[in-house]
Chains A and B, each alone.
Chain A
Amino acid sequence: MSHPFLALTESDKEEMLRTIGVSSIDELFRDLPARVRLGRELDLEPPLSEQELSAHMAELASRNVDTTRELSFLGAGIYDHYVPAVVDTVLQRGEFLTAYTPYQPEMSQGVLQSIFEYQTAICELTGMDVSNASGYDGTTVTADACYIAKHATGRTKIVVTEATSPQVRQVVKTYAPGFGLDVVEVPHRGGTTDVDSLAAASKDAAAVIFQQPNFFGCLEPAPDLAAVANEAEALSIAHVDPLSLGVLEAPGRYGCAIALGEGQAAGNVMAYGGPHYGFLAARQDFIRRMPGRIVGETVDIEGKRGYVLTLQTREQHIRREKATSNITTNQTLLALGGLVYLSWLGPQGLREVGEACLSLAEHAKRRLQERGFELVFDKPTFKEFAVRVGRNAREVVRDARARGVHPGYALGRDYEGMDDVLLVAVTEKRTAAEIDRLADVLAEVAR
């Protein structure tokens, strides 16, 4: 019986078995002890044709509520930004989609050059000297940076602000025991990090991690936080939103050692959480401590410019237990999506997207305040802000969704004493009319 993904005919099989010198396919498995063989058919549903599969998957997809069916102000780390058609077109090129890690550079100049360009774009965004080819997401690159900090400083304390994404903190805490690191969290004061409290916690720290804009959407006094870390001779690590970097200062310009973050906002669809890419860039000092792939420029035997995976003695396949990370498969295709998106945007487009988010979010704040809602923090924000909704925010979310609007993230899920607080995200995809609808619905369901 044929299968669309299997190529051998019965006569192929017979001829091949003859060449091998065995009489049956079963004989190929003669090294397997009888006790470890399954000896029955896998208990799975029968195979589906492509047509049947399409129908089944469409049915599953129909039971998710996506942003084409519900007006969404949900953010908290993953954002509903516009992804242009050029991204899909490039990522569907089979030569990119179906290649693997460019171990053989002469076969892989397309991927290698695009990663080199990606590294350049990330360095330009962040003001850093060196970027890797991508990490899994914004959480795992932060854990990677802690490993850099441990080895660069020989210290064992990681300081992270409480206004940093809860998921980022959770992942750092999961990795920390294996790395031999302790994690200390510094509370926020009025929505941003207090410089003096951070300074007190940062003594003998390997790294100081903060997020800009922070999880509440507030703008941290980032240059001051970086200065605190540098003063303590800890690595200053900024977790940043790539789409903010057309309007917000680059971490490299205010002295950070490492800039990293979740790349999704720049060129990836939300896709219920992935796959996306994490970016990680650093000052030149850390180039030999970077985790994962890095592409470098070189020449071929005729002197022609080309690109190769480089500094591989950092990596697991060479250095094994002494590697700077265990990462192998990364998120190249998603990072390529990021590069295509940034090329489409250009510097002017990046600035305009940032300005649109900023202006729309400010407008949303005003509209909600006009309806009597109180902002939780009196701090400047970028595209997200926290607002009190007068009763349990999870119930407000439920009731607003019943009216076709997802009004945001209930912060009480992560922070004590914030049960009545919503975190509202406003991207460039939202309009003034949609913001009015949010205000109307919230006024209806809150209180």
Chain B
Amino acid sequence: MKLLFEKSQAGRRASVIPRPDVPPAEIPEELRRDEPPRLPEMTEFEVIRHFTELSTRNFGVDTGFYPLGSCTMKYNPRINERLVTLPGFAQVHPLQEEDGAQGALELEWRLQEILEEVTGLDAVSLQPAAGSQGELTGLMLVRAYFADRGESEQRRKVVIPDTAHGTNPASVTMAGFELTHVQTDPRGNIDVEDLRAKVDEQTAALMLTNPSTLGLFDENIEEIEGIFHGAGALMYYDGANLNAVCGISRPGDMGFDIVHINLHKTFSQPHGGGGPGGGPIAVRAMLEPFLPTPTVVRRDDGTFGLDHDRPKSIGKVRGFTGPFGVFVRSYAYMRMYGPRLREMSEAAVLNANYVLARLKGAYDLPFDRLCMHEFVLSARSLKRDHGATATDVAKRLMDYGFHPPTIYFPLIVPEALMIEPTETETKETLDAFCDAMLAIAREAAEDVSVLEGAPHHRPVRRLDEVRAAKHPVVKYEFEAAKTAQEV
């Protein structure tokens, strides 16, 4: 399919900009742009046709089942898309005076209250723009907390299990801490003995996803809490997997001091092809003074406002109060569930266990336990016996009309297939997916070339990622294209 820039024809345009009824003004010559950017020149209809055609070459939750592990690809209610277009939400300037933004501030305050109840913690900042920024913000809070206690020189280490998302170690480095890795035991929990040997008075915090990226709830969570709090360290909860435990178990009750919540996962902000997200953090009261500024507060007279006067705050991590449109959608979503969020998590866990039960005979299951909202299979035997890799299985699933699961993660499972069905799918869809996965396992045994050649029915066949990285072409090369045409 042609690029916008290849469709462009000089002289066409979609926009009409009203000419203001005032004298024209000019930019001083030395700062003026003479050569215009080569943006596409096309009619409005061509713009619509182009992006509509692109959309048909893309697959979303609306298109079909999308069991991308760790990403919680659930239904995104359409009412939320209508609500964010209300002028009272969409057309409000973030620096509007407080008395002109009472509805927005109340919404943010109410969202904070809900997140405090769901996480079992005392205070929330909505500011971080996504989960990874929530992590980084949380680690900044850890540093500020220990600096305030005069322990920042001493407490330099952050402990991370080998199953962690890549964002965890990346955030640790960006926050200026040092990493300590801890292993996973044969049941898929943190190896408590390994942990005990690595936690001491130099440890600042643990970062843990629970349930873990293996989809398993850590059975030793109470012991882990004892180890960290006993050493005077803090506990950080990566909320990527919160969809498993809403209303069932709260990170605060598990002993965690800081939690980030991925609003685009558990609370249904649409993923948008890669974003936006929302990564609020919830903390215990002792960490509240360090939260980013401003915080959203309810004043004594019942009005809502922004508190900028926070001397111990780490500062700002993003503009304004955060991605407000994300808050509108997630708040709306949570109001449509209320206490029934528990049923949401129960259904997510039931769906995952059902798919697991149907597939575990055909694929390897590295940790044979009940799972939470997701689970990790391995294509290790398929690879050994038939030469079919996790990638082959993933690509073949496309031919059956399903988005593949997350593959090759977590890193400790070879040929990993990480499957998260979410609560919004019907049993019929789950059965169709299981049937496809079982059929693919049979195909691998009968004729592995069917898998190796997959996908057969997508707009493109398997793409050469090595070539893309070796000879990076990261924008349209106008000159090269022109030269090629002339030749």
Q: Check if A47 sits within 8 Å of B336, measured CB to CB.
A: yes
Chain B 345-385: CB-based contact to A (< 8 A → 1; otherwise 0): 01101110110111000000000011000000000000000
Which B residues are CB-close (under 8 A) to A342?
A: 39-40
Chain B residue at smallest Cβ distance from A7: B426
> Which residues of A in the span 107-135 have a Cβ within 8 Å of any Cβ on B?
107-111, 113-117, 119-121, 123-125, 129-131, 133-134
Q: Check if B323 sits within 8 Å of A66, measured CB to CB.
A: no
**Assuming A6-B423, A48-B338, is B96 touching A28 (CB within 8 A)?**
no
Taking the closest CB of chain B, its distance from the CB of A345, in whole angstroms, is 5
Q: Check if B76 sits within 8 Å of A269, measured CB to CB.
A: no
Which A residues are CB-close (under 8 A) to B89?
A: 61, 64, 271-272
Q: Check if A222 sits within 8 Å of B31, measured CB to CB.
A: yes
Chain B 11-46: CB-based contact to A (< 8 A → 1; otherwise 0): 011110111111111111011110111111110100
Q: Which 10 A-B pairs have the closest CB atoms?
A: A61-B88, A333-B272, A110-B58, A94-B62, A273-B320, A273-B94, A332-B274, A174-B315, A98-B60, A63-B103
Query: What 7 new A-B contacts, CB under 8 Å, besides A270-B93, A342-B39?
Result: A44-B334, A95-B55, A119-B474, A178-B140, A271-B324, A349-B15, A359-B23
Q: Check if A105 sits within 8 Å of B460, measured CB to CB.
A: yes
Q: Check if A306 sits within 8 Å of B27, measured CB to CB.
A: no
Stretch at the interface among A152-160, A322-330, A370-378: A322-330
Q: How long is the Cα–Cα vector from A276 to B275 in the complex, in angstroms? A: 10
Q: Check if B38 sits within 8 Å of A124, measured CB to CB.
A: yes
Chain B 81-107: CB-based contact to A (< 8 A → 1; otherwise 0): 111111111111111110011111011
Q: Check if B247 sits within 8 Å of A42, measured CB to CB.
A: yes
Stretch at the interface among A15-23, A201-209, A437-445: A15-23
Q: Does B438 contact A (CB under 8 A)?
A: no
Which residue of A59, A88, A178 is within 8 Å of B85 (Cβ)? A88
**Assuming A223-B30, A321-B179, is B460 touching A32 (CB within 8 A)?**
no
Which A residues are CB-close (under 8 A) to B319?
A: 77-78, 137-139, 167, 171, 262, 273-274
Q: Check if A106 sits within 8 Å of B455, measured CB to CB.
A: yes
> Which residues of A in the span 425-447 have a Cβ within 8 Å of any Cβ on B?
428, 431-432, 435
Taking the closest CB of chain A, its distance from the CB of B438, in whole angstroms, is 14
Q: Does B52 contact A (CB under 8 A)?
A: yes
**Assuming A74-B95, A139-B316, is B398 touching A107 (CB within 8 A)?**
yes
Q: Check if A107 sits within 8 Å of B337, measured CB to CB.
A: no
Q: Check if B3 sits within 8 Å of A116, measured CB to CB.
A: yes
Q: Check if B132 sits within 8 Å of A36, measured CB to CB.
A: no
Which residue of A62, A101, A113, A171 is within 8 Å of B315 (Cβ)? A171
Chain A 30-62: CB-based contact to B (< 8 A → 1; otherwise 0): 111101111001111111111001101111111
Stretch at the interface among B190-198, B249-257, B280-288, B443-451: B249-257
Chain A residue at smallest Cβ distance from B338: A47
Q: Does A195 contact B (CB under 8 A)?
A: no
Taking the closest CB of chain B, its distance from the CB of A54, in whole angstroms, is 7
Q: Does B344 contact A (CB under 8 A)?
A: yes
Q: How long is the Cα–Cα vector from A193 to B321 in the complex, in angstroms? A: 29
Q: Check if A329 sits within 8 Å of B166, measured CB to CB.
A: no
Which A residues are CB-close (under 8 A) to B442?
A: none
Which A residues are CB-close (under 8 A) to B62?
A: 94-95, 97-98
Q: Does B273 contact A (CB under 8 A)?
A: yes
- How many residues of chain B have a CB within 8 Å of chain A? 199
**Assuming A139-B319, A271-B92, A406-B96, is B459 touching A47 (CB within 8 A)?**
no
Which A residues are CB-close (under 8 A) to B298?
A: none
**Assuming A5-B423, A36-B249, A106-B458, is B117 touching A130 (CB within 8 A)?**
no
Chain B residue at smallest Cβ distance from A15: B427
Which A residues are CB-close (under 8 A) to B248?
A: 29, 32, 37-38
Taking the closest CB of chain A, its distance from the CB of B65, in whole angstroms, is 12
Q: Does B124 contact A (CB under 8 A)?
A: no
Chain B interface, DSSP helix/strand/loop, else mixed: loop
Q: Does A231 contact B (CB under 8 A)?
A: no
Jot down 23 A-B pairs with beta carbons below 8 A, ordered by A.
Answer: A5-B344, A7-B423, A19-B357, A36-B254, A36-B255, A44-B341, A67-B91, A74-B96, A94-B61, A97-B60, A106-B463, A107-B458, A114-B51, A174-B314, A273-B319, A275-B324, A295-B474, A300-B461, A301-B461, A317-B165, A332-B275, A333-B270, A345-B15
Which B residues are CB-close (under 8 A) to A68?
A: 87, 91
Which residue of A50, A94, A275 is within 8 Å of B276 (Cβ)? A275
Q: Check if A336 sits within 8 Å of B472, measured CB to CB.
A: no
Q: Does B487 contact A (CB under 8 A)?
A: no
Q: Check if A111 sits within 8 Å of B95, measured CB to CB.
A: no
Q: Does B47 contact A (CB under 8 A)?
A: yes
Q: Does B342 contact A (CB under 8 A)?
A: yes
Q: How large is the interface on A (under 10, 10 to 19, 20 to 34, 35 or more residues)?
A: 35 or more
Q: Does B182 contact A (CB under 8 A)?
A: no
Q: Does B299 contact A (CB under 8 A)?
A: no
**Assuming A344-B44, A345-B39, A350-B39, is B101 touching A28 (CB within 8 A)?**
no
Chain A residue at smallest Cβ distance from B369: A31
Which B residues are CB-close (under 8 A) to A302?
A: 461
Q: Check if A36 sits within 8 Å of B221, measured CB to CB.
A: yes
Chain B residue at smallest Cβ distance from A220: B31
**Assuming A37-B248, A47-B338, A295-B474, is B332 touching A323 (CB within 8 A)?**
no
Which residue of B76, B118, B262 is within 8 Å of A98 (Cβ)? B76
Q: Does B173 contact A (CB under 8 A)?
A: yes
Q: Check if A116 sits within 8 Å of B474, measured CB to CB.
A: yes
**Assuming A44-B339, A380-B28, is B130 touching A350 (CB within 8 A)?**
no
Which residue of A41, A89, A432 is within 8 Å of B22 (Cβ)? A432
Q: How long is the Cα–Cα vector from A314 to B431 in the complex, in angstroms? A: 38
**Assuming A99-B59, A171-B318, A401-B100, is B92 touching A272 (CB within 8 A)?**
yes
Which B residues are CB-close (under 8 A) to A62?
A: 88, 103
Q: Does A199 contact B (CB under 8 A)?
A: no
Taking the closest CB of chain A, its distance from the CB of B468, in whole angstroms, is 4
Which A residues are CB-close (under 8 A) to B357?
A: 19-21
Which B residues are CB-close (under 8 A) to A65?
A: 92, 96, 100-101
Which residue of A98, A306, A330, A359 is within 8 Å of B20 (Cβ)? A359
Which B residues are CB-close (under 8 A) to A35?
A: 222, 253
Q: How long is the Cα–Cα vector from A46 to B340 in the complex, in angstroms? A: 8
**Assuming A120-B476, A179-B176, A299-B463, is B47 touching A344 (CB within 8 A)?**
yes
Which A residues are CB-close (under 8 A) to B326?
A: 274-275
**Assuming A63-B88, A346-B42, is B77 touching A326 (CB within 8 A)?**
no
Which A residues are CB-close (under 8 A) to B222?
A: 33, 35-36
Q: Does A420 contact B (CB under 8 A)?
A: no
Chain B residue at smallest Cβ distance from A133: B274
Chain A residue at smallest Cβ distance from B349: A28
Q: Does A391 contact B (CB under 8 A)?
A: no
Q: How long is the Cα–Cα vector from A123 to B86 in the complex, in angstroms? A: 33
Q: Does A100 contact B (CB under 8 A)?
A: yes
Which A residues are CB-close (under 8 A) to B436?
A: none
Q: Check if A274 sits within 8 Å of B322, measured CB to CB.
A: yes
**Assuming A70-B100, A326-B136, is B93 touching A80 (CB within 8 A)?**
yes
Which B residues are CB-close (under 8 A) to A38?
A: 120, 247-250, 253
Which B residues are CB-close (under 8 A) to A162?
A: none
Taking the closest CB of chain B, its distance from the CB of A31, in whole angstroms, is 5
Q: How long is the Cα–Cα vector from A137 to B324 in the complex, in angstroms? A: 13
Q: Check if B463 sits within 8 Å of A346, measured CB to CB.
A: no
Q: Does B484 contact A (CB under 8 A)?
A: no
Q: How long is the Cα–Cα vector from A128 to B88 in the complex, in angstroms? A: 37
Which A residues are CB-close (under 8 A) to B73?
A: 98, 100
Q: How long is the Cα–Cα vector from A128 to B249 in the complex, in angstroms? A: 49
**Assuming A64-B88, A66-B91, is B57 touching A113 (CB within 8 A)?**
yes
